Amino acid sequence: MSKTSLTHPGKAEADELLARKETINQVFSLFRVNYHNQYHSAFGDETLLSQAKRLWLEGLERFDNDTILRGAKRVLETSDYLPTLNKMIRCCEGEPAQHGLPAAYSAYQEACSAPSPKAEANWSHPAVYLAGKQAGWFMLASNAEKTAFPIFKQCYEKYCEQVLAGNKLSMPELKALPEEVGEPLSKSENQKRMAALRKQLDL
């Protein structure tokens, strides 16, 4: 094998890290121009600036470089103040509605009113179905809103966080109905199976 075709094992990782550091530098340059006084007040010396850049490098690790730059531009468009890392992360994630996610209460109402079978209902987003399933369809149907909604909301927000972090949620794969339907069981056979089930469940 030709030596010229060999790639240094760590070269790709090094190039990726270099590109990420350059992106972070671009972000801080944008902030320096737009939040001049605040910027110099926050990062008064090189030590503080270097620490902040390392923190942001780690905190924004899950986003690609283009997303980080779009997030920075969104900060400039929406905030008069130098952003915290938390604010920057939210701007990189985007608003839930941009990902097709309904508000928590709308999602709760959708989950409560969805017809059965639930997996075949027309959901606005898989996160709504998955949150309803995790919270429990029976729980949603049998409890008052003041009890059921907080439980559903907690489940839903976890799935929303996954979507905002870039994960794609999907509905369960529906099993195709058999082409041939078997003969219905006789009354006696049904009774035998029910008795066996009761015995199995110790009812």
* pLDDT greater than 50 at residue 162: yes
Q: What is the pLDDT of residues 113-150, one digit of tens each?
A: 999 999 999 999 999 999 999 999 999 999 999 999 99
**What residues contact 193, with CB distance under 8 A and at least 6 apart?**
185
Q: What is the pLDDT of residue 95?
A: 75
- Between 70-74, 75-79, 173-177, the lowest mean confidence (pLDDT) is in 173-177
Range 62-68, long-range pairs (CB < 8 A, 24+ positions): 62/165, 62/166, 63/92, 63/166, 65/19, 65/20, 65/23, 67/92, 68/23, 68/24, 68/27, 68/92
Report pLDDT for 143.
94
- Domain-wise residue ranges, the chain: 13-94, 99-164
Mean pLDDT calculated for residue range 155-178: 81
CA-nearest of 103, 34, 36 to 74 is 34
